[in-house]
């Protein structure tokens, strides 16, 4: 299949990138990160989570973050909402898009959101309905679509099953997520091919963590199956508190560098993203994990 000429990048570092940071990242820094990402041209920034602050303390300031960011016209600001309480927070914050987040693995569903897959779907239904009535976009994320830290193998049918339940709720976009970065390109092809038999590929995204170094190859495999939306995190920040040992999302800089080489447009300013990655890593007091970002920064310094 011919590769798409344009790809939508959803920048998830303010949420997925920071949620697992042990030290609380000041609200000012989160706001600056989001503002800089919007200014760099990202069409979609995942800005916050409206989840229990006891479960994920780093995301406790979501309402403040949302109140203080500058909204760039053309950027969609998304927030995670596991239930109606989360939705109420998202509505009050004026989020453009909510993200319901289920899993293709029962064990992960229990650990992450404290309920079964079926219970999660029942919880999401009123959330999606309320969001649609409020004119908000809705995204449905499927964790552990390529493997589970508790259960191991996850059958392709389990991923398709959750996708069909989301489709029945009329979500706008469905994220196929490799929470722990275990997928390899053939498996990605199999899962994406199966999902896009039931969901229009224009509405499916790939969310790849890079734990096993497979994320760029997995994105290329997904592109070849017709997927044109990907989630990335500047400097490769991130990890899930309920997936021990899993590292961050694929680094935005690395994906932009690969896409530029493939002549695929994203509308994002690559040099600005390199700067953001270096700035954020300096703030967190460590070297970022983007190979392309670090290479360019080293070249600039030489
Ligand atoms: P629970 O304990 O079963 O919920 O947690 P509950 O309804 O019994 O409520 C317990 C307490 O939480 C109550 O407070 C509620 O008010 C409060 P208390 O009376 O004890 O003081 N509460 C809330 N507070 C704020 N916002 C809310 C909310 N809901 C309840 N929305 C719950 C269930 C889902 C809330 C909990 O399990 C939770 O918050 N989990 C967080 C999960 C999370 O954020 N995980 C990381 C994001 S998912 C991810 O990273 C994967 C992804 O990137 C894709 C991939 O890579 O796979 C998306
Ligand atoms: Mg994730």
Closest atom of ligand 1 to 49 CA is 44
Q: Which ligand is the nearest neighbour of the Cα of 237? A: 2
Q: Domains of the chain: which residue ranges?
A: 8-301
Return the percentage of the chain with pLDDT > 70, whole number.
100
Ligand 1: which residue has its CA nearest to atom 49? 240
How far apart (Å, rounded) are the C-alpha atoms in residues 266 and 116? 37
Burial class (CB in 10 A: 0-12, 13-18, 19+), 208: buried
pLDDT for residue 68: 98
Q: Quick one: average pLDDT of 62-72?
A: 98
Are residues 219 and 249 in contact, defined by beta-carbon separation less than 8 angstroms? no
Fold of domain 8-301: TIM Barrel (3.20.20)
Three-state SS letters, 229-278: EEEEEHHHCCCCCCCCCCCCECEHHHHHHHHHHCCCECCCCHHHHHHHHH
Ion ligand 2 residues within 5 Å by Cβ: 16
Residue 3 carries which DSSP code? P
Query: Among 115, 144, 148, 240, which one carries the catalytic annotation?
Result: 240
Q: Provide the mean pLDDT of the chain.
A: 97
Distances, alpha carbon 297 to alpha carbons 36, 99, 189, 206, 275, in Å: 18, 34, 34, 27, 8
Say which DSSP state 26 is in. P
Question: Is 240 designated active site?
Answer: yes
Task: Please say whether the beta carbons of 148 and 108 come within 8 A.
Answer: yes
Q: What are the pocket residues of ligand 1 if the criterion is a CB atom closer than 6 Å to any ligand atom?
A: 16, 19, 49-52, 55-56, 80, 82-83, 85-86, 101, 112-114, 141, 143, 177, 179, 207, 209, 240, 242
Atom of ligand 1 nearest to the CA of 83: 31
pTM equals: 0.98
The mean per-residue pLDDT over the stretch 220-224 comes to 98
**3-state secondary structure (DSSP) of residue 163:** helix
pLDDT band at 239 (very low <50, low <70, confident <90, very high): confident
In whole angstroms, give the CA distance from residue 113 to residue 95. Answer: 21
Cβ proximity of 296 and 253 under 8 Å? yes
Q: Residue 226's pLDDT band (boundaries 50, 70, 90)?
A: very high
Give counts: helices (H), strands (E), the chain.
Answer: 11, 8
Q: How far is CA 265 from CA 23, 112, 185, 197, in A?
A: 36, 35, 22, 26
| Distance of CA 94 from the midpoint of ligand 2 (Å) | 23
pLDDT band at 42 (very low <50, low <70, confident <90, very high): very high
25-36 burial, b at 16+ Cβ within 10 Å, e below that, comes to bebebbbbbbbb
Which residue lies with its CA nearest to atom 17 of ligand 1?
A: 52
pLDDT digits (tens, 9 = 90+) for 127-143: 999 999 999 999 999 99
Q: What is the pLDDT of residue 245?
A: 79
Ligand 1 probe mutation, 20, 51, 111, most atoms within 8 A of CB: 51
Residue nearest to atom 34 of ligand 1 (CA): 113
Smallest-distance ligand from the CA of 51? 1
Confidence of residue 89 (pLDDT cuts 50, 70, 90): very high
Mutational test site, ligand 1, from 11, 15, 21, 52, max ligand atoms within 8 Å of CB: 52
């Amino acid at each position: 299949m011919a590769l798409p000429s344009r790809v939508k990048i959803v920048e998830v570092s303010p949420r997925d990138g920071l949620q697992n940071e042990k030290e609380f990242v000041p609200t000012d820094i989160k706001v600056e990160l989001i503002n800089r990402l919007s200014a760099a041209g990202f069409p979609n920034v995942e800005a916050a989570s409206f989840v229990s602050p006891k479960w994920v303390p780093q995301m406790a300031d979501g309402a403040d973050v949302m109140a203080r960011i500058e909204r760039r016209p053309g950027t969609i600001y998304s927030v995670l909402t596991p239930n109606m309480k989360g939705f109420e927070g998202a509505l009050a914050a004026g989020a453009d898009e909510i993200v319901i987040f289920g899993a293709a693995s029962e064990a992960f569903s229990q650990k992450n959101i404290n309920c079964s897959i079926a219970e999660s779907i029942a919880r999401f239904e009123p959330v999606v309905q309320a969001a649609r009535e409020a004119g908000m976009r809705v995204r449905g994320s499927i964790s552990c679509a390529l493997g589970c830290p508790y259960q191991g193998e996850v059958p392709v049918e389990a991923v398709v099953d959750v996708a069909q339940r989301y489709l029945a709720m009329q979500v706008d976009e469905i994220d196929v997520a490799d929470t722990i970065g275990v997928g390899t390109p053939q498996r990605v092809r199999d899962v994406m091919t199966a999902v896009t038999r039931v969901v229009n590929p224009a509405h499916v995204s790939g969310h790849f963590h890079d734990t096993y170094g497979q994320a760029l190859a997995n994105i290329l495999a997904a592109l070849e199956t017709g997927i044109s939306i990907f989630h990335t995190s500047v400097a490769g920040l991130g990890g899930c508190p309920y997936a021990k040992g899993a590292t961050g999302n694929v680094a935005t800089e690395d994906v932009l560098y690969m896409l530029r080489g493939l002549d695929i447009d994203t509308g994002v300013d690559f040099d600005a993203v390199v700067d953001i990655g270096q700035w954020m890593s300096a703030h967190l007091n460590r070297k970022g994990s983007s190979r392309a970002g670090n290479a360019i920064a080293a070249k600039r310094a030489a």
